[in-house]
Amino acid sequence: MLRLDGETALVTGGGSGLGRAMALGLARAGAVVAVAGRRKGPLEEVSDEVVRSGGRALAVPADLTDSSDVARAAARVESELGAVSVLVNNAGLVRDQGGTAIWDVTDDAWRGGIAGILDPAFYCSRAVARGMCERGRGKIVNVSSGLGLRGTRDNYMYACAKGAVIQLTRSLAVSLGRWGVTANCIAPGFFPTEATDASPMALPPAEFIPVGRTGRVDELAPLVVWLASSASDYMTGEIFVIDGGGLAGGYAPTGWRPSSSSRG
Amino acid sequence: MAGILSGKVSVVRSDDARWLRPICGALLGAGAKVALVGENVSGVERHASISGPCGDEESVRDALSEIEADVGRIGALVNGPVRPLFRSASRVVDEDVVRAQASSASAHRWMRLAGTAMAARGAGSIVSFVTGLARRGVAEASVGSMTQASIEAMTRSFALEWAAAGVRVNAIGLGWFEMEGRPIEEQRSERLVRYIPLRRRGIPDDVASLLVYLLSDESGYVTGQTVYVDGGAMSHA
């Protein structure tokens, strides 16, 4: 098991879902963890859980789509826990659940939909990048999506913003690499969370996923720990897909076999 | 497009003989001189016809010399599609794999020998056909996909090797194709067709103009690329 003792991680959107699982995973590996996001209650539950297990954590309620709030949050983490050495850009405010034909997408829905997902990642990266570069070390882990790599029907803002997160990753990697700062990206497939449960857009049933099941959020923990650790120091700008095989296919319906088809 | 390949001596070969006629038709329509390798295709006008398997370096060299003597300097090579083998892993035997490798080797041999000759003279264009199996997994396509991926990969490397020598090397990526179009309603009863964003299978006509473009001097700044014509399949999540 890789250890992250001495690291200070900031996990955005760390109060629930994928972010919570990654924050707890980083804490189990020995990192001091700050969780930032909109809702104070869930953030504090996560920080309490870390503290109960003997770790150190801080809940930082903030509107991460507001850059001044991001700057305040970053300063607070630095003064209370120490300089951020690991940033996990997981927060993404999904303002629009998709399912809208392009001619019905309003200007506000378009801009807000992109901003809710992309702005926190950019603002948080900007807030910690200089310090990481000055210290000659830093690990940025962005969370995109399989839908940032492939098209999906009537889900413009999500797909575009998640695609942009991938380009943010590559841009950070190329720009900051010479200072010893790496930036990589996790592209999860379908992971049920409270957020997806509450969404009117249902996740596809498990039979659309080659391994026959959706992801479990705890399965992200080992990956984020590895990407946060020195074990991945030579890897940067990489997109790590964790999706039960979905993107290995994407050329025929899942489960489709030439031998069971009427035509080859 | 008429005439943009005017007089260009184009060698056409294909592991899948069904494609020889549409490929030759596109080239002849653009004014190329076609040297057909392999099977004779009745009704196809051609300027040279090389029969026999051309299964080794010697016979490919001989075929190329014969074409140059009879028709003129070779300016283009078309490696037609390799029909992918679909067979479940439990039924695949070594011979299947060896045959797939032979298809790769054959594509490589023709590209290598024709490309080297064209590079020595400072001009040429090579187009190979692959399918989406070069990049995407499909059950029962483990053998079929290896040939496709290898041809796409060698396309990029040949492109770099000969870039400065004036020989361009590109590929056309086919999606789910059939040789003749069928009524849309009939196609849509297939689950696979409903998965393709444009809701139909491709037919050879769908790639004819791209083939001509990539072989012609109009695409003089394009090399090392695989262009997919697949009804949107590769964009699919």
Q: Which two tokens stand for residue B38?
A: 């392999």
B79, part of any domain = yes
Residues of A in contact with B190 (CB under 8 A): 261-263
CA–CA gap between residue B144 and residue B167 (Å, rounded): 28
User: What are the CA-CA distances from residue B21 to residues A28, A231, B44, B170 (Å)?
Assistant: 64, 55, 7, 21
Nearest to B199 by CA among B183, B217, B219: B183
Lowest mean pLDDT among A28-32, A87-91, B191-195: B191-195
Q: Using the beta-carbon criterion (under 8 Å), do B235 and A151 form an inter-chain contact?
A: yes
**At A88, is the secondary structure helix, strand, or coil?**
strand
Q: Which two tokens stand for residue B168?
A: 């361009």
Residue B7 Rama label (left phi>0; alpha psi -120 to 50; beta):
left
Contact of A213 with A203, CB cutoff 8 Å: no
Distance from CA of B148 to the nearest CA of A (A): 14
Nearest to A144 by CA among A99, A94, A92: A92
How high is the mean pLDDT of chain B?
93
Please list the active-site residues of A: 158
B54, part of any domain = no
Domain topology for A8-260: Rossmann fold (3.40.50)
Q: Least CA distance to B237: which residue of chain A?
A: A150
CA–CA gap between residue B107 and residue B115 (Å, rounded): 11
Provide the CATH number for the domain around residue B153: 3.40.50.720
pLDDT above 80 (res A50):
yes
Domain that holds residue B148: 73-235
> Which residues are bridge partners to A22 per DSSP?
none
Lowest mean pLDDT among A11-15, A162-166, B105-109, B232-236: B232-236
User: What are the CA-CA distances from residue B171 to residues A222, B154, B155, B207, B226 (Å)?
Assistant: 39, 10, 7, 11, 4
B148, part of any domain = yes
Domain count for chain B, please give it.
1
ipTM: 0.79
B157, part of any domain = yes
- Residue B52: pLDDT band (50, 70, 90) is low
Type and span of the H or E element at A35: strand A32-37
Q: Helix and strand tally (H, E) in chain B? A: 7, 7
B114, part of any domain = yes
Under 8 Å CB pairs connecting chains A and B tally to 65
Mean pLDDT of A158-170: 97
Q: Which two tokens stand for residue B26?
A: 């596109």
- Model pLDDT, residue A206: 80
Contact of B55 with B103, CB cutoff 8 Å: no
Q: Using the beta-carbon criterion (under 8 Å), do A249 and B136 form an inter-chain contact?
A: yes
B66, part of any domain = no
Residues of A in contact with B86 (CB under 8 A): 258-259, 264
* CB-based contact, A256 to chain B, within 8 Å: yes
Choose the mutation target among A251, A256, A260, A261 for the interface with B, i.e. most B CBs under 10 Å. A251
pLDDT digits (tens, 9 = 90+) for B83-126: 999 999 999 999 999 999 999 999 999 999 999 999 999 999 99
